């Protein structure tokens, strides 16, 4: 076992702030409220995911697809 304990028991970091910031940098012309909505929706699609490590990148891809349509 690692010195930090069982990694399966460590809390999962909330990916929303990082995802939103990244999308805001990429889509500066869109309103913050639209980016917020799309980021939350994309993350929500993975709420039940058993493997959480890939959720941020998968949500980022889905959000980018939606924002490209909006821009």
Q: Encode pLDDT of 23-39 as tens digits.
A: 999 999 999 999 999 99
Number of domains in the chain: 1
The answer to whether 46 and 14 are in contact (CB under 8 A) is no
Please check whether residue 2 lies inside any domain of the structure.
no
Alpha-carbon torsion (61, 62, 65, 66), positive or negative: negative
Please check whether residue 60 lies inside any domain of the structure.
yes
Domain that holds residue 45: 14-70
Q: What share of the chain is helix, strand, coil (3-state, %, to 5)?
A: 60, 0, 40
Q: What pLDDT is attached to residue 3? A: 54
Q: What pLDDT is attached to residue 13? A: 84
Please check whether residue 9 lies inside any domain of the structure.
no
Between residues 71 and 52, which one has the greater pLDDT?
Answer: 52
Please check whether residue 3 lies inside any domain of the structure.
no
Please check whether residue 7 lies inside any domain of the structure.
no
pLDDT band of residue 56 (cuts 50, 70, 90) is: very high
Please check whether residue 50 lies inside any domain of the structure.
yes
Alpha carbon distance 21, 32 (integer Å): 10
| CATH number for position 60 | 1.10.8
């Amino acid at each position: 076992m690692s010195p930090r304990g069982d990694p399966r028991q460590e809390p999962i970091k909330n990916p929303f702030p990082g995802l939103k910031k990244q999308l805001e940098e990429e889509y500066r012309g869109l309103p913050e409220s639209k980016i917020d909505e799309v980021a939350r929706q994309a993350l929500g699609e993975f709420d039940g995911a058993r493997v959480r490590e890939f959720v941020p990148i998968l949500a980022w891809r889905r959000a980018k697809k939606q924002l490209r349509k909006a821009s």
